Amino acid sequence: MILVDDEQLHQAQSDVHKMWRFLEAARRTHSALDYERLAAPYLLQIQQRQQEILEYLSMKSEELAVA
């Protein structure tokens, strides 16, 4: 997903923060093996969302107008 405005940026940041909080709680309540299995897809999502955030923040305002 390509972020096109600050509202989407803030939503992406919020999504990442929620996943971090979820994983923090899961680390306390799951065994190491269960946590590893549970966390893998969330960690991938976090990486993808962070990449989207970095790409958006790297864009110049002129590029945003075209996107």
Per-residue pLDDT tens digits for 1-39:
899 999 999 999 999 999 999 999 999 999 999 999 999
On whether the CB atoms of residues 14 and 6 are closer than 8 A, the answer is no
**What was the pLDDT predicted at 55?**
95
- Residue 61 is assigned to a structural domain of this protein: yes
Predicted confidence at residue 61, as pLDDT, reads 74
* DSSP at 30: S
For residue 1, is it within any domain? no
Q: Is the pTM of this model over 0.85?
A: no
Number of domains within the chain: 1
Q: 18 lies in a domain?
A: yes
Q: For residue 28, what are the domain limits?
A: 6-66
